[in-house]
Structures are given as structure tokens and as C-alpha cells.
């Protein structure tokens, strides 16, 4: 095999290393170089090497003529995959892949392109469990956009699977898939080789093997000089010698490789060139299609085959090199090309290819062709290729006659919608702003305004989004479905802008309209929106609405992620402290996103998922969620998503004690939220920064971060206390700074809302804060009484971290009252919880408090904190039942503890116990 790639030993060795590295995880090897430099030769050798090594090789060689056809390259890549590899796919993925590859008609709603991507990823991971998988792509610059998106998605999510990419491309930055591979893989797993000219020795070896007759030294030197070491160019020059004498005088040397190839084509008979033009115009040329387009064409191709311009592979026809196709197509006149495309439009079966031929044949505006492009876009959309659909509709816009201005506006809105679903926000904004400037008032303009608002609130401005939606609602008229969508959007934007009362008006209006609109999926979204706003304005959680919304949820429906009922269930259930149900909603949400390839939506939900996990005491899980969200947000164009993910990671890092990293994330999140005028985003970032400062023992820093946002909570009409979890942190910081009046205002709000809604978390947190307030006013006894009530509320909560915080406050106050053994036991419990959860900053606070007690321990060491607490209470003269009540344990547990205490201290009575405790109190501190 090495003899075939003389001069490319470095590239061949790189291919061998690539296959070795692939055994340990995903890798990529990219060959880059100009046309004719030998990329395909090296790529072919590497493919054979992969096959010989036992790898599963999935390959495609896209041509420029295929670059506009949806999933054409993906179809080639998966052609060799057995049905068994895809038969076990989750149903949404199976349906999406079948639709994309035209194996079946779409069943119901068009699949999300991300579901197609997820299906391909699952298939590749499954194949890689048996043997290494190599995705081999030649001329990657001609990959169709839907296939490129799929491969980019796969590259980012391969994890440790042994799936590799073997790619040849003219320019590394010319194909988005190669850029995605570079971003997704470490430098050790990605290698780019730029193929330069062949060395003089390698080129001479190639020429000797290819020349029909021995070449003189002068001819050889001239070929070397004028080809610049490009093997394709050199071989084309040698080919000319077959038509004349091998002498310098008879060697024609065109100025460029393109000119040389063009000369080669022009030497063919006119009849052969005519058939080649048909071949060059087809995306997948076959003998059968060529015969239909040009009877007798197969026979006239013989000259081109003999000349080495095309090859026949069964029924398929392929140009030996892409330059030949370009030369054939560009050398024809515009009228000749139009006639060929018009003829092919009547022959090809695929609606997308039919429409593209019509468009290439069009000579000016033509509504018939524009309508055909609309139908082709419908098919591309139904296959899960919104980017291809957008391109087709854009072409339809160009061909819309001046008299069809309404059709033009309609197509512009549709193209914007397609671009949005493809993940592109720049082009839809341009289109929609153009429509909203030109289109008179009415439902179509309202639809454009609504989509433009979606772009703005997903990217950079909730304030601008509200203005657009307010105008859209005024122009929607009697278009009920459109009005529902606008009302839901308005409720969402107003919540995020902090205007709860007005958000409730629009949420209720959306629900009323949706009830009679007759679209279940939309009704589910309206129910979720109404339930969420009801909760925020203090009406409590309407379980009927939540459950009904979940029952109506349509996962195949294309919608903004925030409006999905399962997302609504996640955050509302978290807020009210129903953490097990919230966890179930999170698991369902994550499962559906992964199955449908929607991981890009996870940054949107990361703050809520992080909040849920930290409240459950799963700090390590919260950190993993947040770190993944930040990584996923890197490639997104949305400042809002990036801000949410950074706030989540800042909060997780605060719990985990990573102070500097958390502060950097929180400050970056705040800056992004401020740029977008996103009130909720600013609150999330402030919440993380404030909690981080409080965790580090910096109440001034906490107050700086939280003071303004906590004060705004009361003013904005927010009535659900747990939706503002930062309020207790600000109260605690204010009390520590002596700002008791400011703290009292917030504390009164927290207590009132907690009692009104019977929110255990709010009541427990308020009790902790009230105890701190009483202590600051000198009433330590009253503070400890209030804390017992707070601990009773904690018994209703599966929130270990919050419990430990309350125990920390209790232990501090007990220490200040010189109840050293009680403080030691309470703080010991807090320390144990903080350590178990992985919250080092708070564990350090508890440990510092224990150290300040100065308790040297008993004469006979070995009692646990719980045993010391029981010993102190028993020595004070309390009965076993009274000790049990004070220590929150059963009388039998008290008896068992006393038995252990007596054994450890070597005593037999309470009198002896009292003497030992008294002696310990009189001993000097360390």
C-alpha cells in the first residue's frame, strides 16, 4: 500500500497512529490541501488501512452538486449500517432517522433536526461497542448543511466512544464539521495535516510510473516546475504527451490547473461534452437518468471514460476529480445550463431536487417555480432539515414576482422560522425586521413581531421583546392560535422583567383563548404558564393545572423550551419544596431532551436543576449539571442561556467552596443578564454571588450583591417566598452588619408569605432569621425558642443543607449562652452534615465555632456529641422522658445512651454523672 503513496509517508503514518488512538476514544485526522494535491489518494489509502484493521468504515464522497440536497451525505454514510444497529433506537429517534433518510413518511409532526442527530449518535455509539468506527469523508467542503449539523452534534457528544473522523478538505476552515471537530476534541485527539507539493523525488517516481514513454530530463524538469509539485496537475501535463511527441516543443502549458482541465474537456467531442453537462448538473448521476435526459447518452460517454474524465461504477457515474465537473459546468453557456436543468426537472422524482432544477432553469421571477420551492421546503422540514428548508424558501423569495408581495412577506416569515429552528438567530432577525418595517398592520405582521420577540428574549433583550409582543397582540386580530402564543410569550417576558401582576393578566388570557382553540399541545403550554404565574403571585400551586398540562404535553411539538409543561413542573415543584416530584420532572425532562437531541436546551434549565440538586443535598450532582450546561452554552448565540448556565455553576461552586471560580462565573453571568435587561437573570447571578460571599464569611459582600434585588422582590409583587431563595441570605447579611430595620422589612415579608402559603422552607428560614434578629437585640433565650420551631419545620423538608444552617445558628447561640456541651453537640451535627454534603466553607464555619467553645472533653474521652448532649441534660436533673423531649429522641434511646455513657466514664449513677460534668465545667479552657 505504501508504494501507492510515495512522498506521503508522513500522512500514512498519521493514519496508522489515528487508528491506534481510536481504540481509546474519539479522534480526528483531517487532510487539508488544494485541489489536485493528492488528498483523495491519501484518504483512500487511510480508508483501506481502516478496513484492514477491522474498523467499521462509514464513508461518503459528496460532490458540489449534492451540497444543497438535505441529508444526501448522511444517506451515503449510513448506507452500510445494518438495520439491527438502528432497530433498538428510542421511538422518537427511530422516527426522525427514518424521516430524514426517506425510509418512511413523517409520522405526525416534523422531527426536530436534533432528534435526527441524537439517532445518529446513538447508532454510532452502539456500533462502537463492537469495534472502532471510522467516519470517512472526502471533499468535506461539499457536505450538505443538514448532514454537517448532525456530524457537528455527534462530534461534541462522543464522550469515550471509539468513533473517529477521517476527513479530506480543501481548506480546514471551509467546512464547519472540521471546525467542530477541532473545538470538540483536545489537541491530543485532533490532528490536521496540510498536504504540500510532492518532493522532487516523489514527483519523478509518479511521472515515471505514469508517462507513456520515457521523459527527457528537460521535459521532466519543466513539468516539475510548472506543476508546482501538484500531482494532479503534473499527471494532466503528462497525459498531453499521449497525444503528441514527448518533447519540450510539443508540450502545451496552460497558465493554471483550471485552464489545463478546461482544455482537456474541450478536446472531447461536442456530443460527449453535451452528455457530460447533464452528468455535471445531476446530484447523483446514473446511467439510467442520463439515458432518460439524453437518449444514447451512455454510449456518448465512452470517450469521456477513455479520457479519464468520468468513471462508471455500476449504474453510477462519477467524475474522476471535482475539477472536471466544474470545468464541464462552467464551460457551458447560461442558456445551455438552463435547458439541461429544465429537462432534468421533468425527470427527477425527488421534490427537492425537482424544485432546485426548476430554480436553476428560471430566468427571472416565476411564481410556479417559487411554489415548487415551497413544496420542496415542506419536504425538507418534514425530514428534520430546517436549514435546508430555509435555503429553499430564501430562493423562493428571490423568485417571487413583484405582484406577489403578500407571498414574499409570508415566505420571509417562514424562512425566519426555519432559520430559528436550525439554530441561526442572525438571519431571522434580518428577515423579520424587514417584514415588520414593510408589512402593514395585520396578523402576518403580528406573527413576524412575535418571532422577532422570540429572537430578542432568547438572545439579548427582554425589554425589547415586550414592546414587540405588545404591538403584535394589538395586530393579531381574530387569529386565535397566534393570540395564544403571543399571550404566553407576554406572560413569560413579564415574569422575567419582574412585573407579576401584568404577567398574570396575560397568562389567564392565554389560558382562556387556548381552552377554545382546539390545539392540545398549545393548551398544555398555556396551562403551565398560568400555573407558574399563579404560584408567583401567591395563589399557591394549582396541581390540577400542572397535571393537566403534563398530560397534554406534546414532545413532538416545536416550541420554545421555556414553555414546555415539564419545565414548568420542574421549577414550580422545586419552589414549593416538593423535591421528589421535582426530581421526577427533571428526570423526564432530561430523558426527553437527550432522546430528541435537545441538550442545547439544558443551559436554559440548569439554574433550576442546580437549585433542586443543592436543596436535595446533591452538591456533586449539581456541579456536574452546571458544568455541562456551561460547556453546552459555549457554541450558542444566546447571552441569556450563557448567563443562566454561568449563574448555575457559580451557585454550585459556592456550595463546593470554589470561591474565586464561583465569583468569576457570577460576575460574568451578571454582566450578560444586565446586557439583556433580564431581571430574573440578574437575580440568579446576584443570588449566587451573595450566597458565595455569605459562605465565605463576608456579610458586606453578600449585602452588596443581594440588597437591591431582595428589596425589589417586595416591590415587584412577588408573593411566593421560595421563588426568591436569596432573601434569607440578605436578611442574615443585614443583621450581621447591624442593618436591623432593613432586615426586619424583608423578614416580615418572608414570615407573612410563609404562613399564608404554609411553605415549610420559608417558615424554617424565617425562624432562623428571626432567631438571629432576636439575638442581635439581646434576647438569646427567645432566639433559641424560635429555633426549636424552625427545626420542627425542617422535619417537613428533605433539605439537609438548610437544616445544617439552622443547626449552625442554634449552636452559635448556645455557645453564647455558655451551654457548651449543648453547643458542642448541635455544632457537631451541623459539621457532620456539611462534611457529608461536600460544603467545605460551611463545614469550616461549624468547625471554627466548635473550636471557640474551648471544651477539652471528659476525663475519660470517647463520648460522641450526642452522648455529651444526653449527659449534660441528665446531669441537670431532668428525667429520661424530659431528656428525650429536649434532645428530640425516644426515652429508650436516652436509656441506651446513658448506659453507654456510664460504661465509658466508669460510673454507676446520675450523682456521679453530675459530679463529672461539674468538674469538667470548672476545668480551664485550652
Angle at 817 between CA 908 and CA 903, to 5 degrees: 15
Q: Which residues pair with 32 in a beta bridge?
A: 169, 194
Mean pLDDT of 491-510: 91
3-state secondary structure of 164: strand
Of 1 and 111, which is predicted with more confidence? 111
Range of 115-119, 496-500, 688-692 with top mean pLDDT: 688-692
Q: Which residues pair with 137 in a beta bridge?
A: 60, 167
**Which cell numbers hold the place of 824?**
458542642
Residues sharing a CB contact under 8 Å with residue 901, sequence separation 6 or more, in sequence order: 863, 867, 870, 871, 874, 913
pLDDT for 919? 67
pLDDT for 733? 96
Mean pLDDT of 492-507: 90
Give the Cα separation of 826 and 880 in Å (integer).
Answer: 19
Mean pLDDT of 562-577: 90
pLDDT for 779? 95
Core vs surface per residue 352-388: b (16+ CB within 10 A) or e: bbbbbbbbbbbeeebeebbbbbbebbbbbbbbbbbbb
pLDDT for 4? 59
Confidence band of 338 (pLDDT split at 50, 70, 90):
very high
Percent of the chain topping pLDDT 90? 48
Give the Cα separation of 464 and 307 in Å (integer).
Answer: 63
Q: Is the pLDDT of residue 246 over 50?
A: no
pLDDT for 247? 42
Give the Cα separation of 569 and 565 in Å (integer).
Answer: 6
**Which cell numbers hold the place of 241?**
504527451
CB 872 within 8 A of CB 883: no
Task: Provide the CB-side half-sphere exposure for 229 (13 A, CA).
Answer: 13
Mean pLDDT of 33-59: 89
Q: Using one digit for the tens of pLDDT, what is the confidence trace for 517-560?
A: 989 999 999 999 999 999 989 898 999 999 999 999 988 787 87
Of 326 and 379, which is predicted with more confidence? 379
Q: Is the pLDDT of residue 857 over 50?
A: no
3-state secondary structure of 635: coil
Which of these, 839, 917, 832, lies nearest to 871 by C-alpha position?
917
Mean pLDDT of 318-344: 88
Give the Cα separation of 730 and 200 in Å (integer).
Answer: 75
Give the Cα separation of 885 and 869 in Å (integer).
Answer: 12
Mean pLDDT of 57-66: 85
pLDDT for 601? 74
Confidence band of 254 (pLDDT split at 50, 70, 90):
low
Q: Is the pLDDT of residue 365 over 90?
A: yes
Q: Is the pLDDT of residue 14 over 70?
A: yes
Which of these, 579, 611, 547, lies nearest to 760 by C-alpha position?
579
Confidence band of 879 (pLDDT split at 50, 70, 90):
confident
Q: Using one digit for the tens of pLDDT, what is the confidence trace for 123-139?
A: 999 999 999 999 999 98
pLDDT for 792? 95
Of 487 and 675, which is predicted with more confidence? 487
Confidence band of 859 (pLDDT split at 50, 70, 90):
very low
Which of these, 56, 57, 30, 34, lies nearest to 43 by C-alpha position?
30
Task: Provide the 8-state DSSP code for 215.
Answer: P
pLDDT for 22? 92
CB 685 within 8 A of CB 669: yes
Q: Which pTM was predicted? A: 0.74
Confidence band of 776 (pLDDT split at 50, 70, 90):
very high
pLDDT for 892? 80
In the block, residue with C-alpha cell 437575580: 683
CA dihedral 724, 726, 732, 736 (to 10 degrees): -130
pLDDT for 607? 82
Give the Cα separation of 167 and 318 in Å (integer).
Answer: 19
CB 358 within 8 A of CB 340: no
Q: Is the pLDDT of residue 797 over 60?
A: yes
Q: Is the pLDDT of residue 598 over 90?
A: no
pLDDT for 421? 84
Q: Is the pLDDT of residue 248 over 50?
A: no
Of 8 and 738, which is predicted with more confidence? 738
Q: Which residues pair with 372 in a beta bridge?
A: none
DSSP annotation string for 23-57? TTS-EEEEEE--TTSSHHHHHHHHHHHHHHTT-EE
pLDDT for 764? 96
Residues sharing a CB contact under 8 Å with residue 595, sequence separation 6 or more, in sequence order: 90, 92, 93, 115, 118
Angle at 923 between CA 918 and CA 924, to 5 degrees: 145
Residues sharing a CB contact under 8 Å with residue 414, sequence separation 6 or more, in sequence order: 377, 393
Give the Cα separation of 863 and 860 in Å (integer).
Answer: 8
pLDDT for 917? 73
DSSP annotation string for 842-909? HHHHHHHHHHHH-----SS----HHHHHHHHHHHTT--HHHHHHHHTS-HHHHHHHHHHHHHHHT--S
Distances 57 to 153, 182, 284 between C-alpha atoms, Å: 19, 21, 21
Of 145 and 743, which is predicted with more confidence? 743
CA dihedral 581, 583, 585, 591 (to 10 degrees): -150
CB atoms within 10 A of CB 910: 15
Q: Using one digit for the tens of pLDDT, what is the confidence trace for 71-128?
A: 888 988 998 787 777 777 888 888 888 888 877 766 666 677 788 888 899 999 999 9
Give the Cα separation of 417 and 452 in Å (integer).
Answer: 10
pLDDT for 596? 77
CB 204 within 8 A of CB 215: no
pLDDT for 163? 94
pLDDT for 864? 73
In the block, residue with C-alpha cell 482544455: 263
CB 557 within 8 A of CB 109: yes
Which of these, 519, 518, 516, 548, lies nearest to 531 by C-alpha position?
548
Give the Cα separation of 137 and 40 in Å (integer).
Answer: 10
For the chain, give the mean pLDDT: 86
Which of these, 626, 605, 624, 600, lies nearest to 117 by C-alpha position?
600
Confidence band of 242 (pLDDT split at 50, 70, 90):
low
Mean pLDDT of 828-842: 93
Confidence band of 241 (pLDDT split at 50, 70, 90):
low
pLDDT for 211? 67
pLDDT for 787? 96
Burial of 652 (0-12, 13-18, 19+ CB in 10 A): buried
CB 281 within 8 A of CB 341: yes
Amino acid at each position: 500500500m505504501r508504494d501507492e503513496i510515495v512522498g506521503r509517508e508522513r500522512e500514512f503514518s498519521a493514519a496508522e497512529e489515528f487508528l491506534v488512538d481510536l481504540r481509546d476514544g474519539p479522534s480526528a485526522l483531517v487532510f487539508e490541501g488544494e485541489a489536485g494535491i493528492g488528498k483523495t489518494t491519501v484518504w483512500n489509502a487511510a480508508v483501506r488501512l481502516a478496513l484492514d484493521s477491522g474498523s467499521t468504515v462509514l464513508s461518503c464522497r459528496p460532490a458540489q452538486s449534492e451540497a444543497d440536497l438535505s441529508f444526501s451525505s448522511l444517506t451515503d454514510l449510513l448506507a452500510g449500517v445494518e438495520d439491527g444497529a438502528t432497530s433498538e433506537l428510542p421511538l422518537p429517534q427511530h422516527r426522525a432517522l427514518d424521516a430524514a433518510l426517506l425510509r418512511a413518511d413523517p409520522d405526525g409532526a416534523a422531527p426536530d433536526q436534533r432528534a435526527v442527530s441524537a439517532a445518529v449518535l446513538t447508532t454510532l455509539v452502539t456500533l462502537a461497542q463492537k469495534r472502532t468506527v471510522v467516519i470517512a469523508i472526502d471533499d468535506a467542503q461539499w457536505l450538505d448543511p443538514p448532514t454537517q449539523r448532525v456530524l457537528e452534534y455527534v462530534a461534541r457528544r462522543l464522550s469515550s466512544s471509539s468513533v473517529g473522523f477521517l476527513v479530506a478538505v480543501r481548506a480546514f476552515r471551509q467546512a464547519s464539521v472540521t471546525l467542530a471537530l477541532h473545538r470538540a476534541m483536545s489537541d491530543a485527539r485532533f490532528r490536521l495535516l496540510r498536504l504540500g507539493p510532492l518532493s522532487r523525488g516523489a514527483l519523478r517516481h509518479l511521472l515515471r510510473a505514469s508517462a507513456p514513454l520515457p521523459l527527457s530530463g528537460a521535459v521532466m524538469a519543466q513539468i516539475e516546475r510548472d506543476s508546482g509539485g501538484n500531482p494532479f496537475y503534473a499527471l494532466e501535463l503528462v497525459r498531453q504527451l499521449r497525444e503528441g511527441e514527448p518533447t519540450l516543443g510539443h508540450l502545451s502549458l496552460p497558465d493554471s490547473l483550471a485552464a489545463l482541465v478546461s482544455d482537456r474537456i474541450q478536446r472531447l467531442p461536442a456530443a460527449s461534452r453535451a452528455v457530460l453537462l447533464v452528468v455535471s448538473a445531476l446530484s447523483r448521476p446514473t446511467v439510467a437518468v442520463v439515458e432518460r435526459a439524453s437518449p444514447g447518452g451512455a454510449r456518448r460517454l465512452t470517450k469521456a471514460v477513455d479520457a479519464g474524465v468520468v468513471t462508471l461504477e455500476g449504474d453510477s457515474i462519477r467524475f474522476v476529480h471535482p475539477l472536471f465537473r466544474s470545468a464541464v459546468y462552467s464551460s457551458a453557456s447560461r442558456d445551455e445550463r438552463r435547458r439541461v436543468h429544465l429537462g432534468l426537472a421533468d425527470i427527477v422524482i425527488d421534490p427537492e431536487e425537482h424544485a432546485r432544477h426548476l430554480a436553476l432553469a428560471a430566468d427571472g421571477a416565476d411564481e410556479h417555480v417559487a411554489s415548487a420551492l415551497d413544496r420542496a421546503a415542506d419536504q425538507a422540514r418534514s425530514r428534520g432539515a430546517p436549514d435546508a428548508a430555509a435555503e429553499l424558501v430564501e430562493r423562493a423569495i428571490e423568485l417571487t414576482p413583484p405582484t406577489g408581495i403578500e407571498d414574499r412577506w409570508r415566505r420571509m416569515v417562514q424562512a425566519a422560522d426555519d432559520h430559528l429552528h436550525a439554530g441561526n438567530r442572525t438571519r431571522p432577525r434580518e428577515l423579520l425586521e424587514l417584514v415588520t418595517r414593510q408589512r402593514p398592520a395585520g396578523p402576518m405582521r403580528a406573527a413576524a413581531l412575535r418571532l422577532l420577540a422570540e429572537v430578542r428574549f432568547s438572545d439579548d433583550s427582554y425589554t425589547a421583546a415586550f414592546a414587540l409582543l405588545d404591538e403584535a397582540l394589538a395586530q393579531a386580530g381574530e387569529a386565535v392560535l397566534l393570540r395564544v402564543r403571543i399571550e404566553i410569550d407576554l406572560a413569560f417576558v413579564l415574569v422575567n422583567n419582574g412585573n407579576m401582576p401584568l404577567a398574570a393578566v396575560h397568562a389567564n388570557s392565554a389560558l382562556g383563548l387556548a381552552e377554545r382553540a382546539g390545539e392540545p399541545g398549545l393548551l398544555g403550554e398555556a396551562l403551565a404558564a398560568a400555573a407558574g404565574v399563579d404560584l408567583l403571585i401567591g395563589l399557591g400551586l394549582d396541581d390540577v393545572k400542572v397535571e393537566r398540562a403534563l398530560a397534554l404535553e406534546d414532545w413532538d411539538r416545536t416550541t420554545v423550551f421555556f414553555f414546555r409543561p415539564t419545565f414548568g413542573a420542574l421549577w414550580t415543584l422545586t419552589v414549593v419544596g416538593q423535591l421528589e416530584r421535582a426530581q421526577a420532572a427533571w428526570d423526564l425532562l432530561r430523558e426527553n431532551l437527550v432522546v430528541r437531541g435537545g441538550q442545547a436546551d439544558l443551559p436554559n434549565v440548569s439554574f433550576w436543576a442546580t437549585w433542586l440538586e443543592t436543596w436535595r443535598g446533591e452538591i456533586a450532582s449539581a456541579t456536574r449539571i452546571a458544568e455541562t450546561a456551561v460547556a453546552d452554552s459555549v457554541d450558542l448565540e444566546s447571552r441569556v442561556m450563557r448567563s443562566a448556565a454561568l449563574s448555575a455553576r457559580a451557585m454550585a461552586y459556592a456550595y463546593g467552596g470554589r470561591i474565586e471560580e464561583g465569583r468569576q462565573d457570577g460576575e460574568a453571568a451578571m454582566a450578560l443578564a444586565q446586557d439583556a435587561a433580564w431581571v430574573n437573570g440578574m437575580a440568579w447571578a446576584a443570588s449566587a454571588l451573595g450566597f458565595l460571599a455569605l459562605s465565605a464569611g463576608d456579610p458586606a459582600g453578600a449585602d452588596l450583591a443581594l440588597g437591591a434585588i431582595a428589596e425589589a422582590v417586595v416591590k415587584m409583587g412577588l408573593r411566593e417566598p421560595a421563588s426568591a431563595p436569596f432573601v434569607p441570605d440578605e436578611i442574615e447579611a443585614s443583621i450581621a452588619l447591624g442593618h436591623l430595620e432593613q432586615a426586619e422589612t424583608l423578614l416580615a415579608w418572608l414570615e407573612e408569605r410563609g404562613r399564608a402559603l404554609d411553605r415549610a422552607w420559608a417558615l424554617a428560614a424565617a425562624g432562623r432569621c428571626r432567631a438571629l434578629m432576636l439575638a442581635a437585640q439581646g434576647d438569646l433565650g427567645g432566639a433559641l425558642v424560635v429555633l426549636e420551631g424552625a427545626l420542627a419545620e425542617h422535619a417537613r423538608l428533605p433539605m439537609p443543607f438548610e437544616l445544617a444552617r439552622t443547626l449552625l445558628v442554634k449552636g452559635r447561640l448556645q455557645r453564647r449562652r455558655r451551654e457548651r456541651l449543648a453547643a458542642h453537640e448541635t455544632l457537631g451535627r451541623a459539621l457532620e452534615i456539611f462534611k457529608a454534603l461536600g460544603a467545605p466553607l460551611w463545614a469550616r464555619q461549624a468547625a471554627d465555632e466548635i473550636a471557640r467553645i474551648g471544651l477539652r472533653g471528659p476525663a475519660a474521652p470517647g463520648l460522641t456529641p450526642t452522648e455529651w448532649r444526653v449527659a449534660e441534660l441528665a446531669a441537670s436533673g431532668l428525667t429520661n422522658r424530659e431528656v428525650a423531649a429536649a434532645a428530640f429522641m425516644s426515652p429508650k434511646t436516652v436509656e441506651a445512651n446513658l448506659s453507654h455513657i456510664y460504661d465509658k466514664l466508669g460510673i454507676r449513677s446520675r450523682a456521679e454523672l453530675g459530679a463529672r460534668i461539674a468538674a469538667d465545667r470548672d476545668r480551664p479552657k485550652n
